[in-house]
Amino acid sequence: MPTLSKDQECLEACMECFLECERTIKNMLMKGGKADNCACPLCCQECRDICELCAKSMARGGEFAQQFCALCAEVCDWCAQECDKMEHEQCKRCAESCRRCAKLCRSVAA
C-alpha cells in the first residue's frame, strides 16, 4: 500500500472532519438544537465549512491552500474543544476527527 503524501493525508482528514461535523449537526438538531454549555452545533457548522473549502483548495492546488489550512487548524481546534464538552458519542467522534484534521492542517500550513 503506497504512503499518502502530507497534502493528500490532510485533504482526506479535512473530508473526514467535514463528514463528522455534518453528522454531529444532524445529531444535535434531532436532539433539540444548541447545547447550553458550548457552541455546538455552531462550531460544527463553521468547522464543516472551512474543512470543505480547505479540501477543495488543496485538491486543485489553490494559491491560498496553506492559508486555508492554517485557518482550518484554528477552527478545528475550537470545534474539538467545544465538542469535548458534550456527552454524546457523536460529539466525541467529531472532536477526535477535528484534532486529527487540525494537526495535519498545521503540518501543511507550516
Q: How do residues 30-53 score in pLDDT, each as one tens digit?
A: 776 555 566 778 899 999 999 999
**0.85 exceeded by pTM:** yes
Exposure string (b/e) for 51-88, b if CB count within 10 Å is 16 or more? bbbbbebbeeeeeebbebbbbbbebbbbbbebbbebee
Task: Count other Cβ atoms within 10 Å, centred on residue 46.
Answer: 17
Burial class (CB in 10 A: 0-12, 13-18, 19+), 33: exposed
- Report the alpha-carbon distance of residue 2 to residue 48 in Å, rounded: 28
Residue 95: band (very low, low, confident or very high) from pLDDT cuts 50, 70, 90: very high
pLDDT band at 6 (very low <50, low <70, confident <90, very high): confident
pLDDT surpasses 60 at 13 = yes
Spans of all domains in the chain: 6-109
% the chain with pLDDT above 70: 89
pLDDT at 80 over 70: yes
Task: Report which of residues 63 and 29 the model is more confident about.
Answer: 63
Q: Does domain 6-109 have CATH number 1.20.1270.360?
A: yes
% pLDDT > 90, the chain: 75
Confidence of residue 19 (pLDDT cuts 50, 70, 90): very high
